[in-house]
Amino acid sequence: MSELKSGSNLEKVLTAGHFAFTGECGPPKGANVEHLIEKFQYLKGNVDAVNITDNQTAVVRMSSLAASKLMIDEGLEPNFQMVCRDRNRLAMMSDILGAHALGIRNMLCLSGDHQTFGNHPQAKNVHDIDSMQLIALVKKMRDEGKFMNDEDIDVPPKMFIGAACNPFADPYEYRVYRLANKITAGADFIQTQCIFNMDKFRDFMKKVVDMGLHEKCYILAGVTPMKNAGMANFMSKYVPGMDIPDSLINRLKSVDKRDQAEEGIKFALEQIEEFKEMEGVAGVHMMAIEWEHRVPEIAERAKVLPRPVV
Report the interface residues with another protein, using CB under 8 A. Answer: 84-85, 89, 111-114, 116-117, 125, 127-133, 135-137, 148, 164-166, 169-171, 173-174, 177-178, 180-181, 184-185, 193, 240-241
What CA–CA distance (Å, rounded) separates 20 from 6? 17
Residue 191 main-chain phi, psi, to 5 deg: -115, 125
Alpha helices in 108-171 (DSSP H): 131-139
Cβ pair 152, 104 in contact under 8 A: no
CB of 271 to another protein, least distance (A): 19
Per DSSP, 152 falls in state B
What is the CA 177 to chain-centroid distance, rounded?
A: 20
Q: Residue 281 is inside which H or E element, if any?
A: strand 281-286
- When the beta carbons of 152 and 170 are compared against another protein, the nearer one is 170
Q: Give min distance, CB of 236 to another protein, in A.
A: 11
| Position 192, amino acid | T
> Shortest distance, CB of residue 34 to another protein, whole angstroms?
33
State which residue, 43 or 183, has the beta carbon closest to another protein.
Answer: 183
- What's the angle, vertex CA 116, arms to CA 110 and CA 121, rounded to 5? 110
- Nearest distance from residue 179's CB to another protein, in Å? 11
CB of 88 to another protein, least distance (A): 9
Q: Are 129 and 92 in contact (CB under 8 A)?
A: yes
Compare residues 36 and 135 and give the one whose CB is closer to another protein: 135
Q: How many Cβ atoms are within 10 Å of 240's Cβ, its own excluded?
A: 11
Report the first-to-last Cα separation within the chain, whole angstroms: 13
Cβ closer to another protein: 82 or 261?
A: 82
Q: How far is the CB of 72 from another protein (least distance, A)?
A: 28
Under DSSP, the state recorded for 242 is -
Q: How far is the CB of 240 from another protein (least distance, A)?
A: 4
Question: Between residues 163 and 268, which has the closer beta carbon with respect to another protein?
Answer: 163
DSSP 128: S
Q: Which is nearer to another protein, 114 or 206 (CB)?
A: 114
Judged by CB, which is closer to another protein: 107, or 261? Answer: 107
